[in-house]
Amino acid sequence: MLEQIEKAQERFSVLDRVPIGLCVIHRDFTVLFWNRTLEQWTKKLKKEIIGTNLKTHFPQLDEPKYQNRLKQVFNNGLPAVFSSQLHHSLIESNLPNGKPRIQNTNVTPIPAIKGEGFYALIAIQDVSEVTHRIQTYQQEIKHRLVIEEELNRAKTDAEAANRAKSEFLAMMSHEIRTPMNGVIGMTELLLDTQMSPTQRNFLNTIRTSGDALLAIINDILDFSKIEAGRMDLEKEPFNLRNCVEEALDLVAIKAAAKLLDLACEFDAGVPDFLYGDVTRLRQILINLLGNATKFTETGEVVVKVTAKPIADKDGEVTQTKLVSEKDIELDREASSQKPALNPAAPEPGAADFNHLEKSAISNYEIQFTVRDTGIGIPPDRTNILFRAFSQVDSSTTRKYGGTGLGLAISKRLSEMMGGTMWVESEIGKGSKFYFTIKAQPAPAPLQTLNLNAPQPQLAGLRLLLVDDNATNRKILTLQAKSWGMVVRTAKSGAQALKVLQNQTMFDLAILDFHMPKMDGITLAQKIRKLPQGKNLPLMILSSGGRPSMREIQGRVEFAAFINKPIKQAQLHEVLLRIRGGECSTNQPCFIRPQFNPELAQKLPLKILLVDDVYVNQMVAGQMLQKLGYRADFASSGKAALDALERLEYDIVFMDMQMPKMDGLETTRLIRQRFSGDILLEKSRPEADFSPTVEKIENRKSTRPWIVAMTANAMQGDRELCLEAGMNDYISKPVRLQAIVQAIALYDRETGQSNFNAVRNNSQAEPTDSISQAEPKNEMTNVAPAVDEIALAELKHLIARAGVLISQIEAGTQSEAAILPPNSGGILAVADNIQFPTLTAVNEPNLEEDKFSNSPPSAPENSLQIAESAIELPPLDSQTFEELRELLGEEAEEFWIELVEKFMEVAPPKLQELADAVNRADAAAIKALAHALRGACTTVGAMPLFQLCAQLEQMARYESLAESEFLMQKILAEYQRVKAALLSSY
Ligand code: ADP
């Protein structure tokens, strides 16, 4: 053995210093070799262990699981592995920190030096650190999994909370907007009435505060929607220029009040029509324009629009041409020869966005710049402006109001449209807000004029343009020149006069009204004194209602008045009309803002307003009246359907929330019943150049054009409305501007506009007999109601009250004062009423009988009728319900009044009647029974009414045989009525 040990030392000495624990053992477990690493790990020195039996040091080696595997090594030369995960260590050792070392052990057979079989080379690897690291990783992963789970749970909770928040916001918005509708709408209407300056002042404060509150609510709602990721953008074709001009319209009055010049400039390459969300784009522009006018005291506010085609992935602009350039030119020529706005040649027709694939470019980046000459923004504040709730001046004494949300919302919206927003500004000089969007061009509707091309009718027209504002001069010059006109500009009145004195001939002059030194009117007066200016058609640019007619009257005659900001289409229209001799000094043209009280004359429409709330009907009805429209009303979904059965309406303004049948359901039914066949012809594709058959299914119906009016302003409501078949959506409180925009959209989308046509169904005419029937007070005068049932019920109630009053009065007067039926006044109305609630009772038709000459057949068996009548409850419960519907909370008080008066009047009348019956005085019986039955209707005592009516009829034909018996019944029935009345309050 000694020899074997020695040989082993020689043979394995190279392994003495390797950082693995190594030892060699004989098949009888005698240790032949023990390296230094093992010495260090086990603290067992070579000299102690070599030559000894390893099992005496590590008894676990005796365990069968080790014995068996080691036997394989010794006898068969098969290696064995003992991993740390599965086995205890063969040769244990501890780490310096006292913890057991984690070891992987490989046992390799080595041919024995002497004799048969194998030695076992035990190689031990210290895997403590690796294992420790793995364990740490595992723990970390476990920890992360736990966190992830917690995060997921938190996310789900947050999402649920967000949903709850959105729902809460929707509810809040509805709750706040509904009363705001009444407040703001009524204030607007009140402001139009006569009142003292102080009252007007108070009212103006209410309106401004209401507007401010509403703006804040809208901002907060929008911001929450964006934050919650619930703001979805539309992709519909729209007219870009209209969108910008509509936004300018909204700030025009404010700008004019500050004498600011407002203008918009379109670069030549900007496409006219785009696909996108016009409402949200307009919102951004309104916000920037609103800020610009707010923070500018003098100078100008200008919107500039430029566009550049976006290169596709390969860096090339897409060049797919679906039609030849020639086709486009031909089309332009054709359309420019029949301008839709030229009243001489109106060409109504449905808009057709499929007509031409005009654009060869798949995508544009449109850049908008809103620049002002206002207070500017300090450089260190420009970066925080786009954060929510941030304002440059955040002191509590700040001069300008606002939530500080507008820019944050606008920037997010422009980003959602594929662009961004930034600002350049200089303190005291002004600011330039830029934003971009990405959008696909949309084809133009068929009959749209291409006003970006030369206009043959205007070519060569010599124009003198006088404006002190350089931007306006530039914009107008560019525009007029692009139409082929010859333009000469002047910065002031003096310069203009000089140009004219130089014998230059002009066909037309455009004069700005507001110019320093010499205003437009003074200049015009001077022009008229020059020989070449005597008959020169003059057009004045006005703003904010100035110059007024009073300022002009008797001083000078103009051919046309055009409002700033100048709109391309309006300018074109007025130039054509001047050229055609339509606008002259004798007969000037007024191109006012599109939204004027004569809108109804230009665009006559039959409008139905569906709303169950009376105050809302009044507000929207009055607003429509301001535009010259007389709307018909329906106070329920069913009434709306009935109205549509009777008449064809162009536009239906539809409330969303109504009892029984809401606006969505009503719309679905309208679409099913009235719109089916028009669906295909008059609609437009959703967002695609080439509508397919399937697409057609999705198109919107346009008749009647249904506009939702709702106090719900959350995302999803709009979609719900559109899905139900509505065409447009305005939110409450309803604003005049929103109504006008809705009408304008209807006009654009349906191509119904026919400005020259006089339609037979003029708004001035009431639409049904009921609308004429009743004298109306100032408020209700506007709107003839078509909701006949509601109106009949209303009349019924008024009549009941009226009858009572008359009867009460009559009771104190002589019998002669009792009005016979149909002799006029309220009683006449009462007798004409049909009592829808009385169908269970066979009411004798007194009126019919009265007018026929033949005597009526006497009641076949009046006793029987009387019995059957008495079986009914003494009071018709619907009476009070109707009263409550009409008067709300006041109903109870009114009811008490009615009952008290009835009980005051009825007993003496009954006594009189009984006396008359005793006397068999037919005339008195007739009059008294008639008076009593009238009183019965006021409290809904219908069986008593029935009995009195029978008695009256008997008296009328002097067939009094059963009158005493009937009188008994009447007295008994009165007791029932009295008991019921006393317990009714
Ligand atoms: P607000 O509702 O307060 O106007 P915005 O987000 O629209 O909210 O604007 C934030 C702030 O940015 C404004 O309060 C104002 O201090 C500044 N600001 C915006 N536009 C202009 C501008 N055209 N000129 C000067 N300051 C501006």
DSSP string, 6-21: HHHHHHHGGGTTSSSE
- Return the axis-axis angle of helices 890-919 and 963-982, rounded to nearest 10°: 160
**What pLDDT is recorded for position 632?**
85
Type of residue found at 79? P
Type of residue found at 135? Q
Ligand 1 centroid to residue 384 C-alpha, Å:
11
Task: Kindly give, in sequence order, each residue whose CB lies less than 8 Å from that of residue 111, ignoring residues fewer than 6 positions away.
Answer: 77, 118, 119
Residue 655 tokens read as 């409330």
* Euclidean distance between CA atoms 801 and 807, whole angstroms: 10
Terminal Cα distance for the chain, rounded:
124
Instruction: Assess contact for 905 and 811: CB atoms under 8 A.
Output: yes
* Euclidean distance between CA atoms 922 and 908, whole angstroms: 18
Ligand 1 centroid to residue 695 C-alpha, Å:
43
Give the residue carrying structure tokens 């925009």. 741
Pairing of strands 632-634, 607-610: parallel
Ligand 1 centroid to residue 584 C-alpha, Å:
45
Instruction: Assess contact for 821 and 850: CB atoms under 8 A.
Output: yes
* Euclidean distance between CA atoms 436 and 441, whole angstroms: 15
Q: Whose CA is nearest to atom 2 of ligand 1?
A: 402
Calculate the CA dihedral of residues 156, 158, 164, 165 and round it to 10 degrees. -160
Q: Whose CA is nearest to atom 18 of ligand 1?
A: 291
Q: Whose CA is nearest to atom 13 of ligand 1?
A: 391
The conformation of residue 160, written as its DSSP 8-state character, comes to H
* Torsion over CA: 530, 531, 532, 537 (sign): positive
* Euclidean distance between CA atoms 167 and 230, whole angstroms: 12
409 CA closest ligand 1 atom index? 6
* Euclidean distance between CA atoms 604 and 760, whole angstroms: 9
CA 849 to chain centre: 57
Type of residue found at 61? L
Residue 868 tokens read as 């059957």
**What pLDDT is recorded for position 839?**
26
Residue 270 tokens read as 């900007």
Establish whether residue 407 lines the binding site of ligand 1, counting it when its CB lies within 6 angstroms of any ligand atom: yes
Residue 52 tokens read as 């000894």
Establish whether residue 287 lines the binding site of ligand 1, counting it when its CB lies within 6 angstroms of any ligand atom: yes
**What pLDDT is recorded for position 164?**
75
Ligand 1 centroid to residue 391 C-alpha, Å:
6
* Euclidean distance between CA atoms 684 and 754, whole angstroms: 20
Pocket test for ligand 1, best of 285, 391, 393, 424 (most atoms within 8 A of CB): 391
Ligand 1 centroid to residue 368 C-alpha, Å:
17
CA atoms within 13 A on the CB side of 985: 14
Among the listed residues 91, 13, 6, the one whose alpha carbon sits nearest the alpha carbon of residue 50: 6
Establish whether residue 301 lines the binding site of ligand 1, counting it when its CB lies within 6 angstroms of any ligand atom: no
Among the listed residues 907, 978, 914, 973, the one whose alpha carbon sits nearest the alpha carbon of residue 943: 973
Among the listed residues 364, 565, 331, 343, the one whose alpha carbon sits nearest the alpha carbon of residue 445: 331
Residue ranges in the chain whose pLDDT is less than 50: 318-359, 396-397, 592-595, 676-700, 752-870
Among the listed residues 595, 734, 596, 509, the one whose alpha carbon sits nearest the alpha carbon of residue 245: 595
Ligand 1 centroid to residue 263 C-alpha, Å:
20
Give the residue carrying structure tokens 């309406």. 649
Beta strand extents in 714-797 (DSSP E only) = 728-731
* Euclidean distance between CA atoms 373 and 438, whole angstroms: 28
* Euclidean distance between CA atoms 690 and 637, whole angstroms: 37
User: What pTM, to 2 d.p., does this model score?
Assistant: 0.47
Long-range contacts of range 595-602, CB-CB < 8 Å, 24 or more positions apart? 595/249, 595/627, 595/736, 595/737, 595/740, 595/744, 596/627, 597/626, 597/627, 597/628, 598/628, 599/627, 599/628, 599/629, 599/740, 599/743, 600/627, 600/628, 600/629, 600/763, 601/628, 602/753, 602/755
Among the listed residues 32, 83, 29, the one whose alpha carbon sits nearest the alpha carbon of residue 61: 29
372 CA closest ligand 1 atom index? 23
